[in-house]
């Protein structure tokens, strides 16, 4: 699981990409906990899509949980929900 807080934009995506690379060594499945994320722009969407494509190519999955209304709307507007499941809670993302 990767916890994302604050703003996810061009100035912060490099740090998230590092987190994604580190998480890939532990598991092919990634959950992004976005309960503490307040903003996301296209750079953030790009990181999520890159993680999704990599996971898919290697038999893994990517999901998002607990996004706030504004970032969730961005994800829905760009069609991300058609590729990456968006769950209301971490428990849902974990299958519980």
- pLDDT of 95: 86
Model-level pTM? 0.92
**Per-residue pLDDT tens for 46-83?**
999 999 999 999 999 999 999 999 999 999 999 998 99
**Per-residue pLDDT tens for 3-54?**
999 999 999 999 999 999 999 888 789 999 999 999 999 999 999 999 999 9
- H or E element: which one contains 36? strand 30-40
Helix (H, G, I), strand (E, B) or coil at 22: helix
Helix (H, G, I), strand (E, B) or coil at 60: coil
CATH number at residue 17: 3.30.750.24
Range of the domain at 76: 2-93
- pLDDT of 7: 95
Number of domains making up the chain: 1
């Amino acid at each position: 699981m990767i916890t994302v807080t604050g703003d996810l934009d061009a100035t912060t995506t490099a740090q998230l990409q590092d987190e994604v690379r580190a998480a890939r060594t532990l598991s092919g499945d990634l959950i992004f906990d976005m309960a503490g994320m307040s903003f996301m722009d296209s750079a953030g969407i790009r990181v999520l899509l890159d993680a999704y494509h990599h996971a898919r190519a290697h038999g893994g999955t990517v999901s998002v949980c607990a996004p706030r209304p504004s970032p969730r709307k961005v994800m829905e507007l760009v069609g991300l929900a058609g590729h990456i499941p968006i769950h209301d809670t971490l428990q849902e993302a974990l299958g519980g």
